[in-house]
Chains A and B, each alone.
Chain A
Amino acid sequence: MSFLSLRRSETVIALVLIAAMVLIGLINPAFWSLSNLFSLARSNVIVGLMALGVLMVMISGGIDVSFPAFAVAAMYLTIRAMLAWDWHGVIGPFALATAIGFALGLVNAFFVSRLRMIPLIVTLGTAAAVRGGLLGLVGTSQINIDRMPQALIDFGNTTLITRAGPGGTHFGLSAMIVVYLLAALLVHFFLTHTLLGRGVYALGSAAEAARRVGFNPTVIVFAVYGLAGALAGFAGLLHGSMIWLANPRDFVGVELDVIAAVVLGGASIFGGRGSVLGTLLGVFMLVMVSNSLILMHIATTWQRIVVGGIIIIATTATALRDRRQIV
Chain B
Amino acid sequence: MTAPLIELRDVSKSFGGVRALAGVSLAIGRGEIHCLAGENGSGKSTLIKIIAGVHRPDEGTLRIDGDEVTTLDPITAIGHGVQVIYQDFSLFPALTVAENLALPSEVQARRRLVSWSGVRKRARAALARLGVAIDLAATVETLTTAERQLVAIARALISAPRLLIMDEPTTALTGREVARLFAIVRDIQAQGIAVLFVSHKMREMLDISERITVLRNGAVVAEGAADGFDEATLTRAMTGQDFAAQSYRWTRQDARPARLELRGLAVPGVLAPIDAAFHAGEIIGITGLLGSGRTDLALTLFGMRPEYQGEIRIDGTPVALRSVAAAIAAGLAYVPEDRLTEGLFLTQSIHRNLLATSYAAMTRHLLIDFARAHADADADAMMEQMRITTRNGDLPVVALSGGNQQRVLIGRWLMGMARVLILNGPTVGVDIGSKADIHARIRERAREGDLAVLLISDDLPEIIQTCNRVLVMHRGRLVEECDTAALTDTGMAEKLKALS
Contact = CB atoms under 8 A, between A and B. Distances in A.
B437 interface: no
B86 A201 contact: no
Contacts of B108: 214
Contact of B93 (A197, A205, A208, A215): A205
Nearest to B138: A1
Interface residues of B, number: 28
A198 B99 CA distance: 9
A270 to B, nearest CB: 9
A326 B88 CA distance: 14
B74 A195 contact: no
B141 interface: yes
Contact of A214 (B104, B112, B139): B104
B496 interface: no
B90 A212 contact: yes
A202 interface: yes
Contacts of B347: none
Contacts of A194: 112-114
Given A198-B103, A214-B74, A272 B94 contact: yes
Contacts of B107: 195, 199, 213-215
A215 B103 CA distance: 10
A208 B75 contact: no
Interface string B88-112: 1111111100010001101110011
B270 to A, nearest CB: 27
Contact of A212 (B74, B99, B111): B74
Contacts of A326: 93, 141
Contacts of A199: 107
Interface string A188-213: 00001111111101101110111011
B113 A193 contact: yes
Contacts of B94: 201, 204-205, 268, 272-273
A206 B111 contact: no
Interface in A208-226: 208-210, 212-215
Contacts, number: 71
B114 A195 contact: yes
A5 to B, nearest CB: 10
Given A192-B114, A193-B114, A209 B141 contact: no
A1 B94 CA distance: 14
Contacts of A206: 90-93
Given A1-B137, A213-B104, A205 B114 contact: no
Interface residues of A, number: 26
Candidate in A1, A213, A268 with the most chain B CB atoms within 10 angstroms: A213
A212 B86 contact: yes
Given A213-B104, A214-B104, A272 B92 contact: yes
Contacts of A301: none
Interface string A308-327: 00000000000000000110
A205 B137 CA distance: 16
B80 to A, nearest CB: 14
B142 interface: yes
B93 to A, nearest CB: 6
Contacts of A192: 114
A70 B78 CA distance: 42
Contacts of A198: 99, 103, 106, 114
B114 A209 contact: no
Nearest to A273: B94
Contacts of A193: 113-114, 116
A254 to B, nearest CB: 28
Nearest to A208: B90
A64 B86 CA distance: 32
Contacts of A212: 74, 84, 86, 90
A201 B96 CA distance: 11
Interface in B35-87: 74-75, 78, 84, 86
A325 B96 CA distance: 13
Contact of A202 (B95, B116, B141): B95
Interface string B399-435: 0000000000000000000000000000000000000
Nearest to B106: A195
27 contacts: A192-B114, A194-B113, A195-B106, A195-B111, A195-B112, A195-B114, A196-B112, A197-B114, A198-B99, A201-B94, A201-B95, A202-B92, A204-B94, A205-B93, A206-B93, A208-B90, A209-B88, A209-B89, A209-B90, A209-B92, A212-B86, A213-B104, A213-B107, A214-B74, A268-B94, A272-B93, A326-B93
Given A201-B92, A205-B95, A326-B93, 16 more contacts: A1-B137, A194-B112, A195-B106, A195-B107, A198-B106, A206-B93, A209-B92, A212-B84, A213-B104, A214-B74, A214-B78, A214-B108, A215-B107, A272-B92, A272-B94, A325-B139
Interface of A: 1, 192-199, 201-202, 204-206, 208-210, 212-215, 268, 272-273, 325-326
